[in-house]
Amino acid sequence: MSAAAKIRICLATIGALLLVIVAMGYKFFVAGSTLKGEDGRVALVLEPGERALMLGEMREFVAGLQRIAEALSRDDMPGVAQASRALGTAKTHDVPAAMMGKLPVGFKILAMGTHRAFDTIAADAEANGTAKHALEQLASVLKNCVACHASYQVTTASTASAQR
Ligand code: HEC
């Protein structure tokens, strides 16, 4: 085989490998693992344990909102900060990498934005922010809850295949 042919084969192999890497990166960071849900929303296809983890975090959101509302009603800004911080970005470290790869990019952006907003509420409450300011921030972050629930639902692989 000539040197030129060897180089061509080598370049073709590198090209094919790059394509595989780009395709895997797209699947992992952008597309995730989804189906079209029956009600028109995008259904995230997760393992039962991953679904349970996600729904458990959602219930923590509600419990946290309850604590924030109660602290706000007492003008207890350190209490607002503490309850908000518990819903902040530190929470996202609990999500395993394999599960991250199944979440579409739009979902991840909304999720991160929501956790970050709670960090901001906590920081502002600590920096002598008023209860009214925190309430405005809360009204705004609640829009993320509404928007995400309007777009996504979660199912498991076995439920999804049983429906097919
Ligand atoms: C990035 C997307 C996203 C955001 C942001 C989000 N959720 Fe969810 N939430 C979901 C999905 C997906 C489900 C599953 C819905 C389904 O399958 O019908 C869910 C389910 C829930 C449930 C049901 C839990 C259960 O045990 O069944 C509650 C409660 C909930 N979310 C509360 C909240 C609250 C409160 C917020 C805002 C602070 C919020 N969520 C923000 C995606 C999100």
Radius of gyration of the chain (CA): 22
Q: Does residue 46 register a pLDDT over 60?
A: yes
Report the separation in Å between the CA atom of 112 and the middle of ligand 1, taken as the mean of its atom positions. 13
- The highest-level CATH class for domain 34-163 is mainly alpha
* Residue nearest to ligand 1 atom 36, measured at CA: 145
Q: Residue 55 pLDDT more than 70?
A: yes
For ligand 1, the distance from its centroid to the CA atom of residue 50, given in whole angstroms, is 14
Residue 163: pLDDT band with limits 50, 70, 90? low
For residue 44, the cross-strand partners are: 34, 154
Distance, in Å, from the CA atom of 96 to the CA atom of 103, rounded to the nearest integer, reads 11
Instruction: Name the closest-CA residue to atom 8, ligand 1.
Output: 58
Tell whether the model's pLDDT for residue 141 goes beyond 90.
Answer: yes
How much is the mean pLDDT over the chain?
A: 92
Work out the percent of the chain whose per-residue pLDDT is above 70. Answer: 98
Question: What distance in angstroms lies between residue 98's CA and the mean position of ligand 1's atoms?
Answer: 20
